[in-house]
Amino acid sequence: MSTKKISIAEIVLWFFVFILIIISLTPFALGFKIKSDYTTLINDVSELSQFDVAVVNYDQGLFSSAVTLAVKIPNMPEQVLFKEEVIHGPLYLGLLSQGKSPLVVAVIKGELDMASLQKTFIQQIFAGNNPLKYQTTINFSGDVAAQFYIPAVDTSFSDEHGPVYVLSSGVIMNEYYSSTTGLVKGDIQMPSFKIKSQVMAMNAESISMSFSGSMGANDIMVGDSVVSINLLDIDSGEEQFAVKDLVLHSVSADSAGLINTNTRVDARELLASNQKFGPLVLDLSVNGINAESLNQIQNVQSEVEEKLEQGVPPEQVNAMMTGQIMSIVPDLIKQAELKLNPLSINSELGKLEADMDFTLDGINADTPADPMFLLGAISLDLNLSIDEQLLKQFIQWELENNLQANIQLGSEKSKKIESNIPMEQKVSENIQGMIDESWLVMNEGVYISKISMHQGELLINNKPVDPMQQIMSSMGEVEGGAAAQQSP
């Protein structure tokens, strides 16, 4: 009896056949697992983004599945649909050309469903190209990496005012989520964007955003984000606004049930109303916000949106929810601390500098809604200095805005009175009024204001002032101004 010998070549051949069978069957088996995990992933995305994301259709195949997603964006009446192809792992060779490992659980390729938007101007801008495409990779550890792409645009079309020109380098966004640590991080890059029409022109250069964070212990996203803009220039013909080298950096953390945040804004140069400012610095810290109370307010906001969608009149909704919010506020801010240091604005007309510390002492959920009690809990220190010419410019802008409102709401008589008073005179009268009431003190060409309040005692430039009387006086001025606008 003879025994057939099995050669090494046959062993290798059968091994590869076995591997091919596994590779062929694995995508089919993974398809069921992917479908289950995909739904979980979409729910997580919905919670993180605070958008209503739902799976409309999931057509599972052997090597891939076809999916339709619906996204409900706030203040948009219709849903936005996305078409996706979910490619089953464990092997997708298409990733090799991207310099990535082909061993994955799944790769999701998606794009915006243009038919769901029903917005002709988007089709005009992108000239038949899809305005948003993306790819999401899920590896075997559960981590998710996504890339989003908005294509470059160089087109023109017409609106009711005339021709519109759009030139954009496109937008690239990368996002990463770790299933083990809960870390979410990503970045957005927009090298350039220009739009020009008969009514306005806008030019933006080197816009970028980066973020890194995770859900805190109280299901509130905390972390670090940076937004930077090299140039943003908006020209409407009569008015121009421009900012150069703007950086906004925000950091938040969750500690012992309290949310602490710090925001810093830096700008090298800003142009507004034909006046140049810069550099500008603002550093604001808000610490000790109660996380549980913050979640309660967010729940109230969700209830408000739900009732408005149900057709309940806004006045009725506001009346129902105001009491709920006011009952939450004491716990929300009872350990709050606000610190502004510094606020610094340089300009051709002078400089403004300010700092502030604000806390509330002894506030809790049982605090009575007594104005005197609340005033007694305030601990405030505010210091401000501003050069004379810069103060005059700020007051002039405020008066010009008020003048426009008076012209729209006031009588013919009030219009004539307002127009006959020289602006320079009105500015001087306003400054003198603040000096007479001790809000401002002049010191070598610089106006100074120091306000402090501790244990119910209010000092304005070291002068004791009754806080309730000051509040009632301010309210009287507002009501008097409104009555003057309505008088014939």
pLDDT, tens only, 172-202? 999 998 888 888 899 999 999 999 988 889 9
pLDDT (tens digit per residue) in 88-141: 878 778 888 888 888 888 888 988 888 776 666 677 787 778 888 989 888 888
The residues, ordered by sequence, that sit 6+ positions from 331 with a Cβ below 8 Å of its Cβ are: 290, 292, 293, 364, 365
Burial of 239 (0-12, 13-18, 19+ CB in 10 A): exposed
DSSP of 212-246? EEEE-TTS-EEEEEEEEEEEEEEE-SS-EEEEEEE
8 Å CB contact between 257 and 292: yes
pLDDT (tens digit per residue) in 465-485: 876 666 666 555 544 444 444
Give dist(CA 392, CA 424) in Å, integer: 9
Q: What number of residues does the chain have?
A: 488
- What integer pLDDT is reported at residue 482 of this predicted model? 46
- What integer pLDDT is reported at residue 269 of this predicted model? 95
Q: Which of 232, 262, 234 is nearest to 246 (CA)?
A: 232
Give the count of beta carbons closer than 10 Å to the beta carbon of residue 387: 18
Give dist(CA 130, CA 152) in Å, integer: 11
pLDDT per position in the chain (488 positions), as tens?
A: 445 554 555 544 544 544 444 444 444 444 555 676 677 777 777 776 667 888 888 888 777 888 888 887 766 667 788 898 988 878 778 888 888 888 888 888 988 888 776 666 677 787 778 888 989 888 888 888 889 998 998 888 887 888 889 899 999 999 998 888 888 899 999 999 999 988 889 999 999 999 999 887 788 889 999 999 999 999 987 788 999 999 999 999 998 889 999 999 999 999 987 889 989 999 999 999 889 988 888 888 888 878 887 888 888 888 778 878 878 887 888 888 999 999 999 999 999 999 999 988 776 656 665 656 767 788 999 999 999 999 999 999 888 887 776 666 655 555 555 567 788 888 989 999 999 988 999 888 799 999 999 888 889 999 988 766 666 665 555 444 444 444 44
Q: Domain spans of the chain?
A: 385-486
Give dist(CA 44, CA 37) in Å, integer: 11
Give this prediction's pTM.
Answer: 0.79
8 Å CB contact between 351 and 390: yes
